Structure 1
Amino acid sequence: MLKHRVRPVFVRPLPVEPGAFFRALDSAQEDGGLCRVCVFEGGAILRIRESDRHFWSPALHLHVQFGADGPELHGRFSPSSPIWTAFLASYLALGCIAVASACYGCAQLTVDATPWAFVGVPAAFVTAGFVYGAAFIGQGFGAEDMYELRSFVDHVAESFALGVL
């Protein structure tokens, strides 16, 4: 069954030593590819090159874990940093609104006033649900970019498996 995630993940076996794979990713970007790769110790971050990037274009975070069958490449798609920050700020603001509404509603109850402020609590939760749903709309916009990033990784990995690299 396909699980819908705000940050989709994948796992694939790595047919080569991780350092060699990440070096190959880094050198493959220099051939005028669609992706830009930032390699660091134990992983890499792939993004669509600047000229083709949109504000909804995702990043692909890669890292290696060693399992019983050898190294496995774990990938996680995430929104760009400004989009991710906006989502977290939205959740923080909605959480503050819910708490403030609950506190104000309790204060209204204490002074025997009509507790109309309690309406803010479910309103904040419903709005948070819409923000959560917006993540999936963004994935729809970035689906082609996600495909390109994943295809780039698969191409480099399969080149090792076939002995091309």
Structure 2
Amino acid sequence: MKPVRYCLAPGAFVLVLAGATGASAAEQPIACKKVPLVVRDMFHKDFPIAKVKACAREVENGELVFEIASVEGAMTRDVLYHQDGKVIVVEESIPMEAVPQSVRAAIDTKFAGGKIKLAEKLMRDGKVSYEFQISFKGKNVQPVFDPDGKEVKG
């Protein structure tokens, strides 16, 4: 079996929340000052040393939501919020070494010979999952796995 090549770009900055958060309309970049103050305050409270890179808004399941994309050291982080400041999902880029062995084994089995472009840890409703961008057999795929290595819907 040919192993998966792990090739993560340092500081890879990809906004992929639309695919990870269910049905949504197109993400629209906006000035961060247009994000509700309660959302900005919650972000800065939860991630005090993160540097904000971009902000966006989109409609998800009929509700207007806001995204703040940031960087903290080598890690990128995208956080999607309800208008009241409640977190919907946090996505953080992580090195493959931080991915559980069970998930790495599942990727090596299912995507043997593929090239991993990005690995992210997703935190939603108290649950953790891992999302990847993989170049596999000429296609770009974005599988999501639970911590036990079971592929789940994103």
Structure with larger Rg: 1
* Shorter-chain TM-score range: under 0.3
Alignment TM-score, normalising by the size of structure 1: 0.25
Q: Higher relative CO (CA 8 A, sep ≥ 6), structure 1 or 2?
A: 1
The structure richer in helix per residue is: 1
